[in-house]
């Protein structure tokens, strides 16, 4: 069995929480005491229906205000798959939380209210999904019960969305007409829309083949920790502990240690005391090299046949997440997998209007929730791949030197 990680974005009004509640409830993943607890507080709120949003809005402030503020993670499984949902808020002011949820997902579910069609929020979610390298999108046209299950309206929305999405880098878009409230096409196919020939949402999620982001040709192993026991018969032991973030390594492979560029071969691949012939992403292993030289945390072991770029200068698309604005000349810590370096923002190329995709030039500063393209110079070289080629080795975060908070998320351009 494998895992599908997907993100849902939207506000309570779209019926997003109802949809998730429906998925969990109808797949029998809500347990009776959890349901009791929701019913109890729904009673407190005074309306009769079960308010599924109380399942995902786990913080006191969220329940008080009836909105989703932060990402909530929910887990369920069917006989076919395990699912991890990153449920994120839809309002503009929480764009950074949406980006956070999308960064670990392979599929996005976007809800459209059938009565409203494609809105600004739909466009923003789609653009963010596309930027974060999510290729699979499911557009749930919700509240079909309120438009008499009209095929014509559904088709109009599909058309409208396709026109907009043609500008984006989305590989696979699935459209499903649903009513989360009543349960049409969520878990079971509904007989109220005989014109719809596709699968129910859950059925689709169970079967869809997603790009997992682990590119087999890009063999990358960032060293996290060097194991040197130095005693008990392990005097000469030196193992590089880390996770294969993409690709495959075999015993005997010719490798480079980046960014220094030393070359060596893989002497052994060890998993919990056992030697294996090969290992692949996303396994956590220990690598042993044939040569002894200084390899430490932050170095990346790569296969000789496909090297990453090594540079101190690159361009990246950045989502800004701090209330202190990003300005040309600002310095930050940059964390790229296990490597931490200082960097300076050399230039702000443009800011993206997340509703129209227009590029706004001559920008002085970038504010919370803005998305922009910048030029960066690092104090020492990074070895990276373009985010679009290899998501696992193309993303980084910027950390404020003073407050230490995560101020931005960046995706390196090719």
Binders of another protein among residues 331 to 360 (CB under 8 A) are 333, 335-338
Least separation, in Å, of the C-beta of 1 and another protein? 5
* CB nearer another protein, residue 32 or residue 47: 32
Least separation, in Å, of the C-beta of 266 and another protein? 17
Could you say which residues in the range 288-317 bind another protein, by CB under 8 A? 297
Residue 409 lies near another protein (rule: CB under 8 A): yes
Could you say which residues in the range 215-274 bind another protein, by CB under 8 A? 216, 224-225, 227-229, 232, 234, 237, 239, 241-243, 245, 248, 271-273
Among 23, 72, 257, 374, binds another protein (CB under 8 A): 72
Non-local (6+) Cβ contacts of 81 within 8 A are 1, 2, 3, 4, 205, 206
Least separation, in Å, of the C-beta of 15 and another protein? 20
* CB nearer another protein, residue 174 or residue 400: 400
The SS3 assignment for 206 reads helix
Least separation, in Å, of the C-beta of 298 and another protein? 9
Stretch that binds another protein, among 196-204, 305-313, 363-371, 405-413 (CB under 8 A): 405-413
Least separation, in Å, of the C-beta of 196 and another protein? 31
Q: How far is CA 27 from CA 20, 35, 175, in A?
A: 11, 14, 21
- Three-state SS string across the chain, please? CEEEEEEEECCHHHCHHHHHHHHHHHCCCCCHHHHHHHHHHHHHHCCCCCCCHHHHCCCHHHHHHCCCCCCEEEEEECCCEEEEEEEECCCHHHHHHHHHHHHCCCEEEEEEECCCCCCHHHHHHHHHHHHCCCCEEEEEEECHHHHCCCHHHHHHHHHHHHHHHCCCCCCEEEEEECECCCCECCCECCCCCCCCCCCCHHHHHHHCCCCCCCCCCCCEEEEEEEECCCCCCCCCCCEEEEECCECEEECCCEEEEECCCEEEEEEEEEECCEEECEEECCCEEEEEECCCCCCCCCCEEEECCCCCEEEEEEEEEEEECCCCCEECCCEEEEEECCEEEEEEEEEEEEEECCCCCCEECCCCEECCCCEEEEEEEEEEEEEECCCCCCHHHCEEEEEECCCCCEEEEEEECC
Among 13, 27, 66, 69, binds another protein (CB under 8 A): 69
* CB nearer another protein, residue 60 or residue 361: 60
Q: How many residues bind another protein (CB under 8 A)?
A: 74
Q: Which residues face 130 on adjacent strands?
A: none
What is the Rg, in whole angstroms, of the alpha carbon atoms belonging to the chain? 24
Stretch that binds another protein, among 138-146, 347-355, 371-379, 394-402 (CB under 8 A): 394-402
Q: Measured over all CA atoms, what is the biggest interatomic distance in the chain, rounded to whole angstroms?
A: 75
Among 74, 124, 125, 303, binds another protein (CB under 8 A): 74
Least separation, in Å, of the C-beta of 138 and another protein? 21
Least separation, in Å, of the C-beta of 384 and another protein? 13
Could you say which residues in the range 97-156 bind another protein, by CB under 8 A? 97, 99-100, 103-104
* CB nearer another protein, residue 16 or residue 96: 96
Least separation, in Å, of the C-beta of 342 and another protein? 12
* CB nearer another protein, residue 2 or residue 294: 2
Among 73, 120, 162, 360, binds another protein (CB under 8 A): 73
Least separation, in Å, of the C-beta of 303 and another protein? 15
One character per residue 166-205, x = contact with another protein (rule: CB under 8 A): ----------------------------------------
Least separation, in Å, of the C-beta of 2 and another protein? 6
Could you say which residues in the range 24-43 bind another protein, by CB under 8 A? 31-34, 37, 41
Among 12, 71, 131, 186, binds another protein (CB under 8 A): 71
Tell me how many degrees the CA angle 342-239-224 measures, rounded to the nearest 5: 25
């Amino acid at each position: 069995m494998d895992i599908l990680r997907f993100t849902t974005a939207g506000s309570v009004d779209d019926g997003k929480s109802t949809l998730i509640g429906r998925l969990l409830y109808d797949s029998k993943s809500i347990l009776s005491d959890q349901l009791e607890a929701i019913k109890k507080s729904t009673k407190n709120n005074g309306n009769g229906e079960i308010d599924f949003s109380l399942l995902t809005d786990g913080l006191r402030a969220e329940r008080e205000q009836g909105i989703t503020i932060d990402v909530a993670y929910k887990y369920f499984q069917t006989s076919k798959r395990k699912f991890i949902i990153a449920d994120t808020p839809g309002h503009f002011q929480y764009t950074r939380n949406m980006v956070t949820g999308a960064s670990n997902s392979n599929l996005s579910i976007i809800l459209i209210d059938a009565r409203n069609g494609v809105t600004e929020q739909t466009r923003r979610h789609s653009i963010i999904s596309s930027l974060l390298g999510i290729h699979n999108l499911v557009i749930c046209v919700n509240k079909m019960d309120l438009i008499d299950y009209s095929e014509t309206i559904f088709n109009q929305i599909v058309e409208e969305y396709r026109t907009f999405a043609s500008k984006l880098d989305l590989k696979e878009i699935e459209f499903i007409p649903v009513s989360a409230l009543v349960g049409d096409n969520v878990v079971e196919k509904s007989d109220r829309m005989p014109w719809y020939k596709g699968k129910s949402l859950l059925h689709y999620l169970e079967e869809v083949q997603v790009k997992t982001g682990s590119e087999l040709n890009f063999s990358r192993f960032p060293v996290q920790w060097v194991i040197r026991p130095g005693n008990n018969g392990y005097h000469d032991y030196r193992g590089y502990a880390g996770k294969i973030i993409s690709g495959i390594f075999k015993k005997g492979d010719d490798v480079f240690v980046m960014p220094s560029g030393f070359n060596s071969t893989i002497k052994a691949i060890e998993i919990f005391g056992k030697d294996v012939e090969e290992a692949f992403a996303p396994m956590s292993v220990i690598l042993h090299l044939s040569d002894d030289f200084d390899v430490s945390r932050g170095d990346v072991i790569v296969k000789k046949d496909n090297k990453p770029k090594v540079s101190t200068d690159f361009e990246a698309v950045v989502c800004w997440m701090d209330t202190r604005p990003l300005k040309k000349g600002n310095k930050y810590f940059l964390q790229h997998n296990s490597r931490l370096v200082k960097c300076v923002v050399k230039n702000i190329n443009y800011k993206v209007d997340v509703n129209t995709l227009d590029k706004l030039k001559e920008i002085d500063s970038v504010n919370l929730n803005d998305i922009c393209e910048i030029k960066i110079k690092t104090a020492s070289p990074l070895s990276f791949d373009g985010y679009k080629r290899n998501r696992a080795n193309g993303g980084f975060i910027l950390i404020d030197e003073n407050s230490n908070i995560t101020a931005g998320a960046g995706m390196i351009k090719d």
